[in-house]
Structures are given as structure tokens and as C-alpha cells.
Amino acid sequence: MSEQNDLSQDEKAVDVTSQETHFSIQCDDIRLISSLFHPLTDEDQMPEGSRFTFKISAYVRGNEAFSHLETQVIHLSTDDTEERKGYFLRFGLLAKFTGDAQIDAEQMAGFVRLYTLSILWPYAREYAGDQLRRAGEDCLSLPIINPQMVTERLIEDELVQVEFIP
């Protein structure tokens, strides 16, 4: 191998051979654990525009973590007669992660803080879109987000709640 092709000689390359970078974490399961969906029939229940809200909480036990993404969607639209329609959807997804035996609870907590949104948001978008399509709405109900930017804000504002369980 020539030296010019050897990244280990490049001062801008990042060496990731330390112990902290070699843990393996597997997403074992993702489940829908709750769902509530209904039309908004009262005009007073309908805000001015569609709304999307979510909350992340996690539970860590040793090298296992359970991440809960709770999502709420208020979707508004108008039909051909210009009548406003609205739907309320609230649901929860739960992911189970298992790490190597060497990983400790703090490291698992760091993982779920950083990656819960990135892993579960696509599932949330698909579920919400599917529910609204079944109700006759042809739309993407949850926006495409930049999970890195959103996660950075969540961590800065301490909005990802992690509880350690024995």
C-alpha cells in the first residue's frame, strides 16, 4: 500500500480504534404500543394549521435500552367543497436495543439520547401516513426532518428523558 493511499498517515483522518467506538448495539424490536385516531368534528378543536409534536423517553437496564417515541399529529385539510376536515392521531412506538456485554448503562443512555429519533422517526412517518391514507387523506402527515439537528436541540435542552431501571 502506498503511503499516499494510507489514511492512517492523513492528519485529517479520524482514528476510531478506541474501545469506546467498538460497541455493537442491535435494535431487537420496534413495536406500536398505543394508538388513538379520530376525526376532529368540532371546529373549535381545529387549530389554524396542521401540528406535529413528539416526545422521547428511554429506560435503560445495563446493556439494554427501551426507547419510547410518542407522537401526536393534528392534520387539517379542505375537501372539494372547501369544508375543513381534521384528524387527531396520537401513537407510541417502542424500540428495544441490546448492546455488547461490556457496554454500561451510561453508554446505552448516551446511545438512545443520540439515536432514538433517527431510528424511530421513519417508522413514525410511515405509520402516521398510513393511518391518514386509510381515512381518505392523500398526504405525508409527518415532515421530513434533519434528525441530527433536532437531536442536538433535544440534548442541549435536556428533552430526552432517560430513566435507569434495576
Of the candidates 131, 141, 66, 124, which has an alpha carbon nearest to the alpha carbon of residue 99? 66
**Predicted local confidence at residue 1, as pLDDT:** 46
The beta strands (E) that lie in the chain are given as 25-40, 51-61, 64-78, 84-99, 160-164
Structure confidence at residue 4 (pLDDT): 61
CB 136, CB 130: distance < 8 Å: no
Nearest to 127 by CA among 53, 32, 28: 32
Alpha carbon distances (Å) from 166 to 15, 28, 61, 123: 35, 20, 6, 29
**Domain covering 47-164 in this structure, CATH number:** 3.10.420.10
CA distance 59 to 109: 8
- What pTM value is reported for the model? 0.81
Determine which helix (DSSP H) or strand (DSSP E) holds 126, and give its type and residue range.
helix 105-134
Q: Parallel, antiparallel, or unpaired: how do β-strands 51-61 and 160-164 relate?
A: parallel
Question: Is the distance from CB of 77 to CB of 132 less than 8 angstroms?
Answer: no
What is the residue extent of each domain of the chain? 47-164
**pLDDT averaged over 10-residue windows placed end to end, the chain, 166 residues:** 70 71 87 95 70 93 97 82 83 97 93 94 94 84 84 88 94
